Structure 1
Amino acid sequence: MRKTVVLRLFTLKQVKPFQPAREDEVARMIKQISRRANAQQPVNINETALSLSSSMISRIALGKTYDEEDGSEKRRFDRLLQQMQELSMQILIGDYFPWLGWIDKLCGKISRLEKGFQDWDSFYEELIEEHLSPNRTP
């Protein structure tokens, strides 16, 4: 699987069209760091790197850039990305031993997974409605 992803998904041909978006997001990050440095404010590198990656993902995958004015939407998207990352890292016993799947339910893992999918589903529904809206600005 990893080999297929590397050979098919991360080829120069697939990645090259997104180079301007990546460069623009990096430039925005550098400006943000410069503003904070000029104001003599500390820069949280972890937060800055996460913000950069989520900005690139939203811009490339969704075609949407979250500006400073869209703070609540950006925080929601960041929270959804973090939630999905946490959910994908957890081990479900029922995946390996189906007859022990009740342990996952008992621990609340299944309900957290379902809530995560519901959150993403509502996010995607809103995104689709926004794209289909006749009053939207391109």
Structure 2
Amino acid sequence: MAYSNIVVSRAAFGDESSRSLYDDVDRGRELKKVFSDFDELLGTEPVGELLPWLGWVDALRGLEGKVQRTFEAIDSVLEKVIDDHRHHREGGPQMGADDNHQDFVDVLLDINKMDMDGGIQLDTIEIKAIILV
């Protein structure tokens, strides 16, 4: 599982960004927990969705807090990855040896840059959503 997480992260975020996410052992474990929580929440049906008058049960069992914590953690990871890519594209420190290598985040940033005239505008929020899908 760890290997597949690293492979998918490298394909989506690039070598350098994914390496910075998983280099520290504690940070790697933290990310594994966040992605595990995210996966678990995707399959969780809130009671308040089925029976709105019992929505308080979700707060009581800690679901709302877990959703908020997981969202904030994933949002900060994606924000860091996108900012790293933008910094690299603006001539910041070189992220890797191969400057022609493009990952998924680079492609999304290129679409945003090239298609402004065509009517496609991908803001940071849209880029994060596409990455999560």
So what's the TM-score if we normalise by structure 1? 0.54
Pick 1 or 2: higher relative contact order, CA cutoff 8 A, min separation 6.
2
2:54 is the alignment partner of 1:106 = no
Q: Note the alpha carbon deviations across 1:52-71, whole angstroms, 9 max, x for none.
A: 2211221222223438x813
Letter of the 1:59 partner, please give it.
R
Distance, in Å, in 1 between the alignment partners of 2:94 and 2:76 is 19
Superposition RMSD in Å: 2.2
Match of 2:5 in 1: 54
The residue number in structure 2 matching 1:4 is: none
How many correspondences in the alignment?
A: 88
Distance of 1:54 and 1:103 partners within structure 2: 33
Q: Which runs of 5+ in 2 are unaligned?
A: 97-133
- What does the per-residue CA deviation read over 1:74-110, in whole Å, with 9 as the maximum and x for residues that have no partner? 3333222112112223231112122211110111101
Per the TM alignment, residue 111 of structure 1 is displaced from its structure 2 partner at its CA by 0.8
Tell me how far apart the structure 2 counterparts of residues 136 and 129 of structure 1 sit (CA, whole Å).
14
Compared CA separation, residues 136 and 77, structure 1 to 2 (3 A): farther
Gaps of 5+ in 1: 1-49
Q: TM-score, normalised by structure 2?
A: 0.56
Greater helix content: 1
3-state SS of 2:45 partner: coil
Taking only the aligned residue pairs, the percentage that are identical comes to 27
Distance in 1 between residues matched to 2:49 and 2:11, nearest whole Å: 32
